[in-house]
């Protein structure tokens, strides 16, 4: 990619590193107004307190901001949603006052800010220029030929329309193509494919390479033009979990004990002060940020690794153990995960289409500066 393309990419990027969130929370007046607005939105019966039902939209929005799948789609992510709700209600069914809501929301937002500082999100404005440059680059045809061979692999009887649609899915953000998002498919890909091919072309099968290349280029050029007319905003993040965060935490006994003690404060204990091992997963999720680990339910490979580590210590047997033994078991689990990650690091990257203006995202608030909103 040439210097001009690099400059263009930099101009189209915005980095979310959590500093705006910290600035909001630390500005007492602005944060008070922010909390007031959110509280009024949630307080449907206007009784000055939030019920568990009224808190559900806030919990769902926080989960979305954390990158979790929708509530009800994954047991692991549902556990996190439950933990967020418990943060507000302290495990009871009683209503939450505005003061309590403000305190918990402050903690959650600062936690998000810490995560963004560690793993920033890059906001890309995809306006078709990078895609157009790819189309006219020297390596374009060779790469599309490779995609053509892959797209037709095992489906020689596919129609030209289906081949083009499948090949478009092989183009990535690096090519200048937005992610394979349902909105992108229904509002950009499908209408353009339909408009660029006549009815006979759409049904054509056993397409030659030359015929495919000609039709595909016509479609991609139209996609680039469409993006130029109406850019798509994409949030990009990437991270590598290599166990180094766990090693740092385990090597600092004071920090490790502090993180565990905070987590154990909200865990039920019997009259002898013993803790059930069934809470290992919940405590691990609370300690995860200190160990530079993702929340449960966010990375499937990591979830598999955690399940294996829990199985090794019989973490699901529900046995009641003394607090010191519980802590020792937690250290064993983290040590097992650390060794696995050091041997096989997990790299995660994601690209998602942002369907709202960034500054109005529910729990990634606008910076507190009182400047006018930029025009679209």
Q: What torsion do the CA atoms of 72, 329, 66, 62 make, to the nearest 10 degrees?
A: 70
Q: Is the pLDDT of residue 112 over 80?
A: no
Measured distance CA(154)–CA(156) in Å, rounded: 6
Measured distance CA(174)–CA(81) in Å, rounded: 33
Q: Is the pLDDT of residue 336 over 90?
A: yes
6-10, 67-71, 123-127, 193-197, range with the lowest pLDDT: 6-10
Q: Which helix (H) or strand (E) holds 275?
A: strand 275-276
Measured distance CA(194)–CA(157) in Å, rounded: 19
pLDDT of residue 344: 93
Q: Which tens digit of pLDDT belongs to each residue from 242-282?
A: 999 999 999 999 999 999 998 888 888 888 889 999 899 88
Q: Is the pLDDT of residue 225 over 90?
A: yes
| Range from 66-70, 193-197, 250-254, 347-351 that averages highest in pLDDT | 250-254
pLDDT of residue 372: 37
Q: Is the pLDDT of residue 219 over 50?
A: yes
Measured distance CA(95)–CA(51) in Å, rounded: 5
Instruction: Give domain limits for the chain.
Output: 16-119, 124-234, 242-343
**Residue 202, CB-side half-sphere exposure with 13 Å CA sphere:** 10
Q: What is the DSSP string of 131-174?
A: HHHHHTSTTHHHHHHHHHHHHTTT-TT-BHHHHHHHHHTT--GG
pTM: 0.56
Measured distance CA(355)–CA(236) in Å, rounded: 14
Structurally, at CATH architecture level, domain 16-119 sits in: Orthogonal Bundle (1.10)
> Which residue in 272, 260, 227, 238 sits closest to 332, CA to CA?
260
| Range from 147-161, 223-237, 332-346 that averages highest in pLDDT | 332-346
């Amino acid at each position: 990619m040439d210097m001009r393309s690099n400059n263009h990419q930099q101009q189209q990027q915005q980095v979310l590193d959590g500093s705006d969130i910290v600035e909001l929370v630390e500005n007492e007046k602005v944060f008070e107004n922010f909390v007031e607005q959110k509280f009024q939105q949630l307080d449907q019966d206007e009784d000055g307190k939030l019920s568990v039902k009224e808190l559900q939209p806030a919990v769902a929005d926080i989960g979305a901001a954390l990158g979790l799948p929708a509530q009800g789609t994954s047991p692991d992510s549902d556990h996190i949603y439950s933990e967020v709700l418990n943060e507000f209600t302290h495990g009871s069914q009683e209503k939450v006052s505005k003061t309590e809501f403000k305190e918990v929301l402050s903690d959650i937002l600062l936690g998000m800010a810490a995560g963004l500082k560690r793993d920033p999100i890059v906001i890309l404005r995809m306006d078709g220029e990078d895609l157009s440059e790819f189309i006219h680059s020297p390596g374009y045809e060779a790469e599309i030929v490779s995609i053509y061979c892959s797209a037709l692999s095992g489906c020689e009887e596919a129609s030209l329309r289906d081949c083009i649609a499948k090949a478009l899915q092989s183009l990535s953000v690096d090519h200048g193509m937005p992610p394979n998002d349902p909105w992108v498919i229904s509002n950009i890909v499908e209408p353009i494919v339909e408009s660029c091919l006549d009815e006979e072309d759409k049904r054509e099968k056993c397409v030659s390479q030359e015929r495919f290349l000609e039709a595909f280029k016509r479609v991609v050029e139209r996609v680039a033009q469409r993006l130029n007319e109406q850019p798509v905003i994409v949030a990009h993040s990437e991270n590598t979990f290599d166990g180094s965060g766990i090693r740092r935490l385990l090597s600092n006994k004071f920090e490790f004990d502090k993180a565990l003690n905070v987590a154990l404060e909200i865990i039920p204990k019997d009259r002898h002060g013993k803790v059930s091992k069934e809470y290992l997963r919940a405590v691990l999720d609370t300690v995860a940020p200190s160990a530079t680990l993702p929340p449960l339910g966010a990375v499937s490979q990591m979830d598999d690794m955690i399940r294996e580590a829990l199985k090794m210590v019989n973490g699901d047997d529900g046995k009641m153990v003394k607090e010191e033994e519980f802590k020792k078991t937690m250290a064993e689990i983290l040590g097992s995960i650390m060794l696995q990650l050091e041997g096989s690091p997990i790299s995660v990257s994601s690209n998602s289409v942002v369907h709202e203006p960034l500054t109005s995202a529910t729990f990634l608030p606008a910076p507190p500066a009182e400047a006018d909103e930029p025009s679209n």
